[in-house]
Structure 1
Amino acid sequence: MTTRIRLVEVTDANRAAVAAVRVHPSQERFVAPVEKSFQDAEDHPEGNPWYRAAYTDDVPVGFVMLSWDVTPGPGLLGPYFLWRLLIGAEHQGRGYGTAVLDEVVALLRAHGVPELLTSYVPGEGTPGPFYLGYGFVPTGEVEDGEVVLRLDLSSRP
């Protein structure tokens, strides 16, 4: 069964509902909340933040934020970097995370983007295994204590 996800622009009309999406408490040390993502996007325009809510039907189930076509530099990975991905605790385990990444990959490929980077903090309960299972591979780099991963977009169906 295919999990249906739509990436929806965050507007004044849906912002509160999107900000209410929360990960499981055990994951909070690995994934910042949506409201922090909004603040990070505002505080770091050099990251060229692109973000969307992940909806199934009319329900926001997650959030994704990328750095979009940036020049890599100190503290800035890219040009395309998966800055934030979260699925609400009550919606996890249903394939939504994979579906969101599938949508992001399709969008990036449509723009001719060859690779996507992300990173994670190592530790018990980290999202690292999810990313590795999706097809990301370690680059060998560590940035601010986070393991950097790369996804070759030509490797995804």
Structure 2
Amino acid sequence: MTDLHVEELSARTIVAANSLTLKPGQEEFVSPTTYAVAMVVADPQTTWQRVVMDGEEVVAFIRAHFDPDDPTDYLRAAVWRVNVDADAQGRGAGRFAVEAVMEEGRRRGFDHLSVVYEPGEGGPEAFFRRVGFRPVDENEYGEVVAEISL
């Protein structure tokens, strides 16, 4: 992957974002991408959705939430979704996507970024640890809350 860049989710990229594939076993940790896309209608001011492109190919989708007034601390600046196409996993697209969210968080004045994930074999924990997130808590649903400093 040599030409990674981030673009806003658009009519040109939405079909490809919805068509990203996962490795076997990963689907149990991810809700359909269209759920994430539909949420932007609810509050476009706090929802940040982008695709990671490798040249002209969509290789990842990322969604974040930025709301300094959210009553739940770990949701004020949070990664809500990272989908990296199965063929692109392990090649830097996911890290690139998270770094883009971190940059946006800094631009908006946040000092840390959170992520919430379900623990389990084949889940996203190893990825989030590799990019620098550290578990700090557990939410009411038994999911891991992890943070990274910005």
Question: Where on the TM-score scale, by shorter chain, does this alignment land: which range?
Answer: 0.7 to 0.9
Q: Structure 2 regions of 5+ residues with no counterpart?
A: none
In 2, the alpha carbon distance for the partners of 1:8 and 1:111 equals 18
Q: Which runs of 5+ in 1 are unaligned?
A: none
| 1:112-127 correspondence to structure 2 within 5 Å | 112-127=109-124
Please list the CA deviations of residues 64-114 of structure 1 after superposition, one character each: whole Å capped at 9, or x if unmatched. 00111242336x842111000110111111111111112222232233321
Alignment of 1:76-155 (within 5 A): 77-153=74-150
* TM-score, normalization by structure 1: 0.83
Pick aligned residue for 1:72 from 61, 70, 73 = 70
Q: 2:53: which partner in 1? A: 55
The CA distance in 2 between the partners of 1:47 and 1:120, in whole Å, is: 24
Q: Does structure 1 conserve the Cα–Cα contact (< 8 Å) formed by 2:79 and 2:101?
A: no
What is the identity percentage for the equivalent residue pairs of Structure 1 and Structure 2? 29
Q: Please state how far the C-alpha of 1:4 moved relative to its aligned partner.
A: 4.1
Instruction: Please give the secondary structure, in 2, of the residue aligned with 1:129.
Output: helix
How many residues in Structure 1 have an aligned counterpart in Structure 2? Answer: 150
Report the Cα offset of residue 46 of structure 1: 9.0
Cα RMSD, aligned residues only: 2.2
**TM-score in terms of structure 2 length:** 0.87
